[in-house]
Amino acid sequence: MAFKNYQWETILLSLFIGLLAILGAYALIAKWWISTIFFYTLVIILIFRLVSISQKLVTKLEHFFNSLKFEDYTVSVSEDFQTKEFMQLNKSLSQIADNFREMNFQKERNLFYLQHIIEHIDIGILAFNLEGKIVLINKALKTSLGIKSIDDVFAFQVINADLFQAIEKITPFERLLIHFVYNENTYKLALYATSFSFDNEIVKLVSFKNIRSELERQELDSWQKLISVLTHEIMNSIAPISSLSQTLDMMLSQVDIRTDNDEISMDKEIYLDTKEALKTIHKRSDGLIHFVQTYRNITKIPMPVYKLFAIEELFQNVTGIFKTQTEKQSINIESSIQPLDLEISADISLIEQVLINLLKNAIQATRSIENPQIKLSALINTTGNIEIQVEDNGPGILPEVLDKIFIPFFTTKTDGSGIGLSLSRQIVNYHGGSLTVFSEPNVKTIFKIII
């Protein structure tokens, strides 16, 4: 039966089944056995036909919804549905499949954007459940801490116990600051936490922001403002004193000392003492002016003029300056550059000044030890930045002094000015980088420049 209308086909099949059933019953009553068998055979055939049509519809719909269940949105309803009602159903189901396909595409696109945003930002992201299993950790956090693979938050105990406790105990919407040293790197992290529930699972989300550079810049800005005020006030006081003492010295130089009562007279000893005192005042005033002008340089560092140059050239320049001194002290200086043709974009004169300061400190630190060694190295670190290190095997820096060495005017040397490291950090910060120190007393001290 080639019916074009499912409804009419169903109705006609039902009518034929009913009619044949009546005829079969009449034949049975009349004991027409062959006719009875014939009529009921037709009834069975037509029933199978009707069931087949319904089963076909159910099978197609079941296949369609199973495809949606398993997110197979490429499914389409079979072209076997050519009747009017089936064609309308086919159109509706195809529209549903298209809608699900579009929703899935939007979901995948949003997930793609979200994943790339999380991997792109420089803020570390960590998400874990109540059992400590990590469900999300981004590249920024793994790179900054040197993590390759990690499954649960308990692994952070290996990095730093205080960091692990902060991660474990921080509550939603709480902010924490933590300071620790790991793998010879200093970290100052700001932690912020929140939580959410997903699929009946509570997840804690913690963000990590390294605020070391920001704190260093703020610290330097504060010192610059203080120095600017101090130098202004000191100069206003010292300049007149210096000028006046010089004038008095010149006037006294012209005095003619006599014993005659008709002339101005002055005791020679008093005169000489006064003159000497004025000379001392003038000399001391000039010294203070020079002192202030020297420290004023901290606030007058020129902005970098960037140029691409080879690290090898930089190392050769600074080591050449101290060649005579290092040979005299029998200091072994090693250089390592990976790769050998590594280049950096910076102000070469300013970066040279930083390395000169660091190398000078390293030479002074190793002058009283046996087998003094200094290592200069440059490489591209895990964050993709250029890292320059100056390492020496001197006595090192005491832990209680380590956080103070970059403060202007602070020094542990009897002949030091206390501005070299502060000036160096400021220069590196002007390049958008950082200057840090790691010291293990009586083993090694490492200054790291990261740009």
Q: pTM of the full predicted structure?
A: 0.53
- According to the model, what pLDDT value does residue 113 have? 79
Domain locations in the chain as residue ranges: 6-108, 121-210, 217-299, 307-450
- According to the model, what pLDDT value does residue 251 have? 61
Tell me yes or no: is domain 307-450 CATH 3.20.20.140. no
Domain at 121-210, CATH class: alpha beta
**DSSP per-residue codes, 405-450:** TTSTT--SSTT--S-HHHHHHHHHHHTT-EEEEEEETTTEEEEEEE
- According to the model, what pLDDT value does residue 15 have? 82
- According to the model, what pLDDT value does residue 2 have? 34
- Give me the amino acid identity at 284: R
Identify the three-state secondary structure at position 143: helix
- According to the model, what pLDDT value does residue 3 have? 36
* Residue 327, C-beta contacts closer than 8 angstroms, at least 6 positions apart: none
- According to the model, what pLDDT value does residue 338 have? 92
Per-run averaged pLDDT (10 residues), the chain, 451 residues: 54 79 79 79 80 72 69 56 58 73 78 78 86 86 81 85 87 84 80 82 87 68 65 63 64 59 61 68 66 63 86 89 85 91 90 90 88 93 89 88 75 66 86 89 91 88
Q: Which of 348, 344, 355 is nearest to 321 (CA)?
A: 355
**DSSP per-residue codes, 252-308:** HHT------TTS----HHHHHHHHHHHHHHHHHHHHHHHHHHHHHGGG-PPPP--EE
Distance CA 204, CA 8 (A): 62
C-alpha distances out from residue 101 to 69, 110, 309, Å: 12, 14, 53
- According to the model, what pLDDT value does residue 4 have? 46
Burial of residue 394 (CB within 10 Å: 0-12, 13-18, 19+) is buried
**DSSP per-residue codes, 194-259:** EEEEETTEEEEEEEEEE-HHHHHHHHHHHHHHHHHHHHHHHHHHHHHHHHHHHHHHHHHHT-----
